[in-house]
Amino acid sequence: MISETFLREHMAASKAAEVILACGGKSLRMGENKLLIDCGGIPLIKRTCLSFRGIEEIKRLIIAVPEGDIPFYDELMSDIGISYLLVAGGKTRQESIHNAVLMAKEDIIIIHDGARPFLSRELILRSLEDAYRYGSSVACVPAKDTIRYCDSESSYCPKRENLYTVQTPQSFSRRLYLYAAGMAEESFTDDAQLLDSIGIKPHLTKGEYSNIKITTPEDLMYLKNYSREELRVGHGYDVHRLVKGRELILGGVKIPYEKGLLGHSDADVLLHALMDALLGAAALGDIGKHFPDSDPSYSGISSMTLLEKVYDLLALAGYKPSNADITVIAQEPKLAGYIQKMRDNISLALGLDRDRISVKATTEEGLGFTGNKEGIAAHAVVTIKGVAKRG
């Protein structure tokens, strides 16, 4: 048995972690590459990757894929918004994981199946905390079914209360994992078995029944039942000051006028309100978060370009726009002659028919800053559709 001194020496010194994703299989039981199956509008593997985005302790994803597929996956992952490294997988799962772990630098590794896209943030954090405290963490759920063991000599049912279904994530002190892998004399299908093989009992972490793995065609039924399309509503508001020496651009249309709107980008107040509404509906923050005015790369940028980027952000989160209703508040200039072109621009950027885009203009009868021609304001209300996780 491993001594307590050995364990202490191999424990993680910090909670900084890297995620090891096992994506090197050939999906023989599925009959197609399960990692590319549509999951809320994006490939399943991207949905899995996005589960780890925004967790401060996670510094990078290390993804083990077939060597010949590295260029394909590199292009596929280029917009996931989290640092990643692709490594060549091996002949077995254990070899693929080991190749990836050798590239890790942080104290903790979180090993996860690429085909488990629905793990929660809470499960990730529980696994991370347990790996830090105990050196290992194996997500498990109590077995629901009675299980029968049968070989050529005996057949019996072990007590169900002592049985667990093993999942991922499985998190470990990187040093402890590498030691166990170096001592292994056989190949295992489960990462925690490495610890078993050197006499260490891995710590069990409460898993989630919803943390399903897509393995066989029958699992697609669970995938469809697990996910449901939901409708979300978002509201956006923006205002910009009118000043001389600037072009007036609204809805991506240049409008002749003696003044333009002041801002870091082209200050298209209509599109800014629309983008905030879209981001808000998906709970992704606001345009200031994604396109800060402190970043010189956005100086003078077209808001149509930013709207296309917002569309991509929604797609990564599993959402797509459904319709938009926008109201521009301006005393001057008159906008009626430009509204159809605005609608065309927005419908093209969002991939929607023009009849799903409403743009209206109104005045405030000479009241307030818009009535005094000091600025222009805009409100936007949108709906988006996407895939929501049950539970």
Q: Do 150 and 87 reside in the same domain of the chain? A: yes
Domain match, 211 and 62 both: yes
Q: What is the pLDDT of residues 216-257, one digit of tens each?
A: 887 777 666 555 567 899 999 999 999 999 999 999 999 999
Q: How does pLDDT run across 368-383, given as a tens digit for each residue?
A: 998 889 999 999 999 9
Final residue of a structural domain among 169, 188, 217: 217
Domain for residue 222, yes or no? no
Please say whether the beta carbons of 267 and 260 come within 8 A: yes
Please check whether residues 209 and 328 belong to one and the same domain: no
Q: Specify whether 296 is located in the same domain as 172.
A: no
My answer on whether 210 and 234 are in the same domain is no
Question: Where residue 51 sits, what CATH number does that domain have?
Answer: 3.90.550.10
- Shared domain for 11 and 69, answered yes or no, is yes
Q: Which residue has the tokens 């010949």?
A: 68
Evaluate whether residue 98 is within a structural domain. yes
CA separation (Å) from 265 to 30, 228, 270, 271, 305? Answer: 48, 37, 13, 11, 10
Report how far residue 109's alpha carbon sits from residue 103's, in angstroms, rounded to the nearest whole number: 11
Predicted TM-score of the model (pTM): 0.66
What CATH number corresponds to the domain at position 349? 3.30.1330.50
Residue 175's CB: how many other CB atoms inside 10 A?
Answer: 16
Q: Tell me the pLDDT of the chain (391 aa) as tens digits.
A: 566 677 777 788 889 999 999 887 654 444 568 898 877 678 889 889 988 988 889 999 999 999 999 999 999 998 888 899 999 998 888 999 999 999 999 999 999 999 998 888 899 999 999 999 999 999 999 999 888 889 888 898 888 888 999 999 999 999 999 999 988 888 888 899 999 998 889 999 999 998 989 888 877 776 665 555 678 999 999 999 999 999 999 999 999 999 999 999 999 999 999 999 999 999 999 999 999 988 888 888 999 999 999 998 888 787 889 999 999 999 999 999 999 999 999 999 998 898 999 999 999 999 999 888 999 999 999 999 876 544 3
Q: Assess if residue 272 is contained within a domain.
A: yes
Residue given tokens 């630098």 in the structure block? 105
Pair (137, 118) in one structural domain: yes
Q: Does residue 302 share a domain with residue 355?
A: yes
Distances (CA, A) of 278 to 271, 304, 315: 10, 14, 11
Asked, for residue 223, whether it belongs to a domain, the answer is no
193 and 338 co-located in one domain: no
Domain hosting 251: range is 228-389
Residue-wise pLDDT tens digits, 97-149: 999 999 999 999 999 999 998 888 899 999 999 999 999 999 999 999 888 88
Mean per-residue pLDDT of the chain: 89
Residues 108 and 236 in one domain: no
Do 168 and 280 reside in the same domain of the chain? no
